[in-house]
Amino acid sequence: MQTLKEIITIVPKLPPEIDGLGDYGFRLAQQLFADYGVRTRFIVGDPNWSSNTLSHSSTVSVRSPQALSALLPPLDQVVFLHYAGHGYAKRGCPFWLVQALTEWCKMGGRLITMFHELYATRPLLSSALLTSPLQKKLAIQLMQISDRVFTNRQCYAEKIQMFSHHREVTTLPVFSNIGEITHPIPLQARSRELVIFGSSSTRQRIYQQTSLLKRICQSLEVRTILDIGADIKLKSDLPIRQLGIQPAEQISQILSRASAAVVDYPMDSLAKSGIFASYCSHGLLPIVISSRLHNQDGLEMNRHYWLANCKLDLNQAQAIATAAYTWYQTHSLQVQAQSIAQSLELFIKL
């Protein structure tokens, strides 16, 4: 495959800071280089971010169109934007970003946009929802100036088709930011450990479901709950072992040997959950706690994840774990790098 040898990628932040879009962009850049020799130069949209180790990155001095325009490449290069409005502006309205890219595209610049989110639609009382019309306007403007678009949910793809000229929108649910494994061991050979991994707030919500957790532990004969993430205060008689914040490689090892893991996330948005992706990519049994019971993006309850609303034997648990792992393979990191590389190949032919 013939492809461009360098792209410019815009992200809000980069590792070691914790940022979903930054982690996603960084891992994708690594895979593009490993598989296709495509180098990435990053533009970071947070003026407060800095690094002494990443020489192939630049940071906007301030969030202004002029500051970003000064960092944008010549018109013969491609810009790859990882977009979620709140990553670039407090209320999700990055006028500076959209204005600079619009002017650059008008001069002939070529833009690929990965829409990780479009605009706020819930919760009803959130401050972000108050600016939803402006968020929507900016997102539509980005859709219209982009040469190629990607997104992580089918419902987002349908909106992009509705609001722009793009008839084909590639939908790629997120990949795991903590790695993947190629040969997951069967559940019967794994330890009787249940993983709870994620932000402090989501883990706290899970631990508030005491009766549900006890039922899960009883059904799966769980001996230990492994809590991964920033320290939180827990008052529980459950067998919890708090591991704190762990590096990605260590989390991957833990998920590789655990039997199951729990995530608290809206069921209709699981395709954009990095935590859910990490569970699927490691071949364990994903357990979902959700108040919104709606299948989407090829995922079905009690087929690709357990809702803990019915009894489950080992064979059924293994079938779910296998289905989740198989679903993940359609949009793994390597698959996504290939899809981006194919888009870059098209630019060469233009």
DSSP assignments along 233-288, one per residue: ----SS-EEEEES--HHHHHHHHHHEEEEEEE--GGGGGG-HHHHHHHTTTSEEEE
Rounded to 10 degrees, the C-alpha dihedral 272/147/97/201 comes to 0
How many other C-beta atoms lie within 10 A of the C-beta of residue 233?
A: 7
pLDDT at position 128: 60
Per DSSP, the chain holds a count of helices (H) and strands (E) of 12, 12
pLDDT bucket at 309, cuts 50 / 70 / 90:
confident
- Pair 155, 296: CB distance under 8 Å: yes
Q: How would you list the strands of the sheet with 285-289, edge to edge?
A: 240-244, 224-228, 191-197, 258-264, 285-289
User: Which tops the pLDDT comparison, 12 or 235?
Assistant: 12
How many other C-beta atoms lie within 10 A of the C-beta of residue 324?
A: 24
State both tokens at 70: 């000064």
State both tokens at 281: 């990519």
pLDDT at position 298: 92
Is residue 129 over pLDDT 90?
no
- Pair 217, 238: CB distance under 8 Å: yes
The phi, psi pair for 26, rounded to 5°, reads -70, -45
Query: Mean pLDDT across the chain, nearest whole number?
Result: 92
pLDDT at position 124: 45
3-state secondary structure of 150: strand
Residue 2 contacts by C-beta under 8 Å, 6 or more apart in sequence? Answer: 345, 348
3-state secondary structure of 314: helix
* Predicted confidence (pLDDT) per residue in 149-169, tens digit: 999 999 999 999 999 988 889
Rg (CA), the chain: 21
The distance in angstroms from the start CA to the end CA of the chain is 15
When mean pLDDT is compared across 101-115, 143-157, 283-297, the lowest value belongs to 283-297
Which amino acid is it at 152? N
* Predicted confidence (pLDDT) per residue in 250-278, tens digit: 999 999 999 999 999 999 999 999 999 99
The phi, psi pair for 241, rounded to 5°, reads -120, 110
* Predicted confidence (pLDDT) per residue in 11-44, tens digit: 999 988 878 899 999 999 999 999 999 999 999 9
DSSP assignments along 151-186, one per residue: ES-HHHHHHHHHHSS-S--EE-PPPPTT---SSPPP
3-state secondary structure of 46: coil
* Predicted confidence (pLDDT) per residue in 172-225, tens digit: 999 999 999 999 999 999 999 999 999 999 999 999 999 999 999 999 999 999
pLDDT at position 1: 57
3-state helix vs strand vs coil in the chain, percent to 5? 40, 20, 40
| Domains along the sequence of the chain with CATH | 6-172+332-349 (3.40.50.2000), 187-329 (3.40.50.2000)
Is residue 125 over pLDDT 70?
no
* Predicted confidence (pLDDT) per residue in 134-144, tens digit: 999 999 999 99
Report the distance separating Cα 195 and Cα 240, nearest Å: 10
